[in-house]
Amino acid sequence: MHMSRVSDSPVRDRDFLLYFAGVTLSEVGVRGTLAINLYHVYLLTESSLFVGLVGLFQFVAVISLGPLGGAIADRVDRRTLVQVMQGVSLLTSAGLAAATYLGVVTPLHIYVAVLLNTGASTFDMPARRALIPGIVPRHQLVKAFALVTPGRELAFMVGPALGGVLVAIGGPGLMYAVDAGTYLVLIVSLAVLKITPAPRRSDHPTLARSILDGFGYVRRRPIVWQLLGMDVVAMLFGAYMAVIPAIAEDILGVGPTGYGLLMSAVPAGALLGSWFIFRSMHRLRGGHVVIWSVAAYGLACIMLAQSRGLLLAIAAALAIGAFDAMGSTVRQAAVQVEIPDELRGRVSSIQQMATRGGPALGTLHIGAVAGVLGPTLALTLGGVVPVLVAGAVAKFTRTLPAYDVPTSA
């Protein structure tokens, strides 16, 4: 694969840089639009219940379409699939912008847009992730994912901030219009990339059979389902997002400014964690990074729950982001290394269901517990679980502790 590329770093690879720039810019638009979707619904309804329905539409799209998206990604050209799905999202955001500027937008329009954009992403994300092994050599995958992860976290920081500025300038419709433009940039970027084609099966099983093949492969590969399982445990029980508003308002008393600082600290920490993995992965065992980053993530959640000062809470949020990024970078790269190319899209879709469905369920779960026990006890108890699970995996299993991600040819 790309034998002419002798650099040990994907940052010197033209095609990877084009991919990275296009994906990151598109993600900035996605994150900005999602933040403004929530804000826009509140402007229209002044109801937090209606705002919460945005998350429900996201969850329904991910769970119902996720397996299908991966199966399709393994049957068609992945570059084309990403471009088509980006086109669907472009039209959706452009339509929402038009409805907003015409003054006819309702919460239903926003819900439908969220459903369409999230549905498109369930096809887009497995194919987009599965493109990376066709762009960089196998031994560069960990470093490639260590660059993609901070790009995503940068989008988490820049997108909502950009959305706020654009709304102040021209209302929500301007954010939606800019988002449509970012989709176009990725479509064009993908068109000029040199990507090694993925091998195709000569037979074409039914979609149902294809989906079952993906789940069957994960079930038969302990390292794959253990990697995904560690992700789900961390996100399900350490869903800090559900209680950060209560911590900021009711415990720390820092208001919206402090809330914004806490929210920004998590992706800032993720950038630090991704940089550490990028620089140090060749000296670390991948399985150890996954296990101990999950344990440290749980401890950071406990630290956030117990914080009674803003500076300590910010430090905890930074740690949450850093340890989450360290573990997720290795998990994503390891899964891509382990799976055969003909199953890459399907397994990537299962991975997407874990990484996106887990936080959604975790937010519901921790939020419900917080409603009964309060945010401090809810997140403290939740943070204990990843610590215990990581310790049990380290002591009682062999596959994950002994695992290492290939970082050399």
Question: Average pLDDT of the chain?
Answer: 81
Q: What is the pLDDT of residue 406?
A: 57
Report which of residues 110 and 325 the model is more confident about. 110
Q: What is the pLDDT of residue 231?
A: 83
Contacts of 301 (CB under 8 A, 6+ apart): 238, 240, 316, 320, 379, 380, 382, 383, 386
Are 230 and 390 a contacting pair, CB within 8 Å?
yes
Report which of residues 75 and 308 the model is more confident about. 308
Rounded distance between C-alpha atoms, residue 195 and residue 235, angstroms: 33
Residue 91 reports pLDDT greater than 60: yes
Report which of residues 112 and 253 the model is more confident about. 112
What average pLDDT does this structure show over 265-293? Answer: 82
Rounded distance between C-alpha atoms, residue 278 and residue 167, angstroms: 36
Q: What is the pLDDT of residue 98?
A: 97
pLDDT tens-place string over residues 346-356: 676 677 677 77
How buried is residue 26: exposed, middle or buried, by Cβ count under 10 Å (0-12/13-18/19+)? buried
CA distance between the termini of the chain: 11
Q: What is the four-CA torsion angle of 359, 127, 13, 187, rounded to 10 degrees?
A: -100
Residue 163 reports pLDDT greater than 50: yes
Q: Is the pTM of this model over 0.95?
A: no
Rounded distance between C-alpha atoms, residue 358 and residue 335, angstroms: 17
What average pLDDT does this structure show over 40-49? Answer: 72
Q: What is the pLDDT of residue 1?
A: 41
Closest CA to 215 of 334, 349, 333: 349
What average pLDDT does this structure show over 341-345? Answer: 67
Q: What is the pLDDT of residue 197?
A: 67
Residue 396 reports pLDDT greater than 70: yes
Q: What is the pLDDT of residue 112?
A: 96
Residue 131 reports pLDDT greater than 70: yes
Q: What is the pLDDT of residue 188?
A: 92
Q: What is the pLDDT of residue 264?
A: 76
Closest CA to 223 of 395, 390, 402, 408: 402
CB-CB neighbours of 253 under 10 Å:
9
Residue 132 reports pLDDT greater than 60: yes
What average pLDDT does this structure show over 374-400? Answer: 91
Rounded distance between C-alpha atoms, residue 364 and residue 369, angstroms: 9
Contacts of 34 (CB under 8 A, 6+ apart): 54, 114, 159
- Go through the domains of the chain in sequence order and give each one's CATH number: 1-194 (1.20.1250.20), 213-409 (1.20.1250.20)
Please provide residue 30's backbone torsions phi and psi, each rounded to the nearest 5 degrees.
-60, -50
What average pLDDT does this structure show over 371-388? Answer: 91
Q: Which amino acid is at 252?
A: L
* CA angle (346, 352, 356) in 5-degree steps: 155
pLDDT confidence tier of residue 72, bands split at 50, 70 and 90: confident
What average pLDDT does this structure show over 134-144? Answer: 75
How buried is residue 101: exposed, middle or buried, by Cβ count under 10 Å (0-12/13-18/19+)? middle
Q: What is the pLDDT of residue 2?
A: 46
Whole-number percent of the chain with pLDDT over 70? 85
Q: What is the pLDDT of residue 3?
A: 42
Closest CA to 131 of 66, 190, 213, 209: 190
Residue 363 reports pLDDT greater than 90: no
Residue 46 reports pLDDT greater than 90: no
Q: What is the pLDDT of residue 56?
A: 76
Q: Which amino acid is at 344?
A: R
pLDDT tens-place string over residues 4-15: 444 566 666 778
Contacts of 377 (CB under 8 A, 6+ apart): 305
Residue 47 reports pLDDT greater than 70: no
Rounded distance between C-alpha atoms, residue 242 and residue 238, angstroms: 9
Rounded distance between C-alpha atoms, residue 114 and residue 108, angstroms: 10
pLDDT confidence tier of residue 207, bands split at 50, 70 and 90: low
Please provide residue 206's backbone torsions phi and psi, each rounded to the nearest 5 degrees.
-65, 160
Residue 215 reports pLDDT greater than 80: no
Rounded distance between C-alpha atoms, residue 152 and residue 125, angstroms: 12
